[in-house]
Amino acid sequence: MAQPPALARLAGVTELCPNLNLSTSLPKRTDAVLLGMATINQDEPALVGTVPDLDKAYQKAFGTSIAAMATAMGAGAKEGTVTSLPGVDGTRILVVGLGDADVTPDGVRNAVGSGLRKVAALEDVEGLAVAVSLELSDPELIQAAGEGALLGAYRFSAIKAEADPRAVAAVTLVSPVANAEAKAAVELARVIAEAVCQARNWTNTPPNLLYPETFAEAARAALKEQKVAVEILDDKALEKGGYGGILAVGGGSSRKPRLVRMSYAPRGAKAHLALVGKGITFDSGGLDIKPAGQMAGMKFDMSGAAAVIAAVQAIAAAGLKVKVTAYAAMAENLPSGTSYRSSDVLTMFDGQTVENYNTDAEGRLVMADAIARAGQDQPDLIVDVATLTGACMVALGLRTSGLMTNGEETSDLLLDAAEAAGEDFWELPITEHTRNQIKSTVADMRSGGTSRWGGALVAGAFLERFVPEGIGWAHLDIAGTADNPEEAYGHTPKGGTGVGVRTLVALASQLAEG
C-alpha cells in the first residue's frame, strides 16, 4: 500500500506545485484562461490579455466579444475580484481585477493568486491546464504572476489513504516576450513558490506526524538535491554541546529535541547570512499549560523553522551567491515529570544563565541557544524567524509581522527585502526600559518581564542578549501571520501561509548582489 499523503510530504516525495511555463501564445490545450480588468487614466475598466483566436471563437459562439460579455456580467477592475464568464470550446474564462493599469508586483501576485484559487476550488475537476494572459512583459511582473499562480493553486492534501486529485496541473504565463530574462523570472518564481508551499505543507501537518525527529529528517530530504550540507544534532549531541534551552523545552516529551544545521557555501559568495528558525512542533505550554481552546492551533508553532529550511532550499536552488548557515531548533513542549519549571535556572549554549519565568515562553529559549550557536559562525547578519509572542498579534493583527533589529542599517535591509517580496512587516523598538525588564537576581537574566506589557518587545530584548557584539541581527515575529484562520485572500490560503520565505530569499538576493 502507498504511503499516506502526509508521510510522503514529510519525505519530500509529493509534487508541491503545478508545472509553470512561459509562452507567447495560448497553449493548444487550455482548460481555463485568466484575463485581467484594469482602469486606464481613471476611465472605464478595460479588458487586459484578450487572445485574438479565443475572442474570435467567443464572438462566433455568443455573438459578442469577451470584453463585452465581461462588462455585461459586471466584471470590474477592483483588485482581487474574480468573475467567471461563459466558457467556449471547453475553455473556462475568468476575469480578475487588477486595479490601475500601472500594476505593482504585489498587486499582480495577489490578483493572479485570487484567480487561481477560484480555479482550484472548482468541483469535480482534475489536472487542469490554466493560462494566465495579462500582457506582462516586465520580468519582475512575470515573476510575480508566476508566484501568485502557484501559491494561489496550492491546496493542502487531506490525510487520506488515497491522495486527493490536484485541481491544477499546469500553468502557462502568456507573455509578449519569452527572452532569457523572462524565462529566468519564471524559473525563480517556480523555485520560490515551491519553497513557500513546502513551508505551508510542514506547517499544516499534524503534530503526531511532524515532531522533532521526523521534521529534522524531512528537512534533510528536502535539501538532498541541493548543495547544502545538513547536520542533525540529537538529544545526546545537544547535551554534549551544552544547549540548555533546547534541552529544557524538549525535556518533557518522549519525542526528543533536535537542532538542524544547514550550510550553503557557493563559490564567489561575499556575504554570510545566518538564519535561525523556531521549530516547536507542538506547544501545550508545558507545566504552565494553555487553556484547551488555545492549544489546537499550536501545531503552527514550528512555522519559523519551516520558513528557514524552505528559504535555504530556494536560495540554493536559485544558485544565489551568498553564504548561508541556518539553524532550525526543534522541540515538543509537553508537561510531564521531566518537564522544566518556572523559576528553573538554565545554562544556555553560550554560558549565560536564564531564570525561566514561564514554561509557555519556550520559543525564546530554543531560539537563544540557536542564535548563540549561529554567532560562532561569525556571519555578517543573523535573522531569526519565530511565532514568538501573542503580544505581537495583539499589536499588529493577523496580516502584519513584527520586526526588531539592533541597527538602522539592518532595519532598512530587512524592510527593503520584505517590500520586494510583497510581505508586510512593521518595525517595533527595543528600548533600554524594555531591556531592564529582564534583569534577574538569581541569574544573568530572566526569560520574561515582570508585567504583561510590551511582551513582544521584552522577548526581542531577551533574544538580543545572545547576539555577539558587532553582528547585525533582525528578529521576525510571525506569530500572527504564520497561520491564517480566516478566509483565504489573494494568494494566501486558509491555514499555514509560508510567511517569511519570500522575504528571506529576497534578503539573500540583495546580499548576493552586494
CB 216 within 8 A of CB 330: yes
Kindly report the three-state secondary structure assignment for every residue of 493-505. Answer: CCEECCCCHHHHH
**Main-chain phi, psi angles of 108, to 5 degrees:** -65, -45
Residue 103 has pLDDT above 70, yes or no: yes
Q: What is the mean pLDDT of residues 403-412?
A: 98
263: CB partners within 8 A, 6+ apart: 228, 229, 231, 324, 325, 326
Q: What is the mean pLDDT of residues 488-509?
A: 97
Residue 1 has pLDDT above 70, yes or no: no
Could you give the CA distance from residue 212 to residue 202 in angstroms, rounded to a whole number?
12
Catalytic pick among 118, 364, 373, 446: 364
**300-317 tens-digit pLDDT:** 999 999 999 999 999 999
Length of the chain as a residue count:
514
Residue 501 has pLDDT above 80, yes or no: yes
Residue 68 has pLDDT above 60, yes or no: yes
Domains of the chain, earliest start first: 5-194 (3.40.220.10), 206-513 (3.40.630.10)
- pLDDT computed for residue 163 by the predictor: 74
Active-site annotation holds for 278: no
**375-390 tens-digit pLDDT:** 999 999 999 999 999 9
Q: Which three cell numbers stand for residue 134?
A: 495579462
What is the pTM (predicted TM-score) of this model? 0.96
CB 207 within 8 A of CB 332: yes
- pLDDT computed for residue 166 by the predictor: 87
- pLDDT computed for residue 11 by the predictor: 54
CA distances from 443 to 29, 352, 367, 439 (A): 68, 8, 18, 8
Residue 15 has pLDDT above 80, yes or no: no
CA distances from 417 to 425, 478, 507 (A): 10, 16, 5
Could you give the CA distance from residue 442 to residue 265 in angstroms, rounded to a whole number?
42
Catalytic pick among 155, 290, 321, 399: 290
CA dihedral 113, 117, 118, 120 (to 10 degrees): 130
**Main-chain phi, psi angles of 266, to 5 degrees:** -75, 155
- pLDDT computed for residue 13 by the predictor: 46
**150-196 tens-digit pLDDT:** 999 999 877 877 777 889 999 999 999 999 999 999 999 999 999 99
Beta bridge partners, 324, equal 264, 273
Of the listed ranges 290-299, 336-345, 348-357, the least confidently predicted one is: 290-299
- pLDDT computed for residue 10 by the predictor: 66
Could you give the CA distance from residue 502 to residue 307 in angstroms, rounded to a whole number?
9
CA distances from 504 to 71, 200, 499 (A): 41, 15, 10
Could you give the CA distance from residue 174 to residue 55 in angstroms, rounded to a whole number?
15
**Closest CA relative to residue 402, chosen from 501, 478, 500, 304:** 478
Q: What is the overall mean pLDDT for the chain?
A: 95
- pLDDT computed for residue 9 by the predictor: 59
- pLDDT computed for residue 157 by the predictor: 78
Beta bridge partners, 230, equal 262
- pLDDT computed for residue 8 by the predictor: 59
Active-site annotation holds for 364: yes
**319-329 tens-digit pLDDT:** 999 999 999 99
**Closest CA relative to residue 223, chosen from 261, 269, 180, 277:** 261
Strands 483-484 and 495-496 turn out to be antiparallel
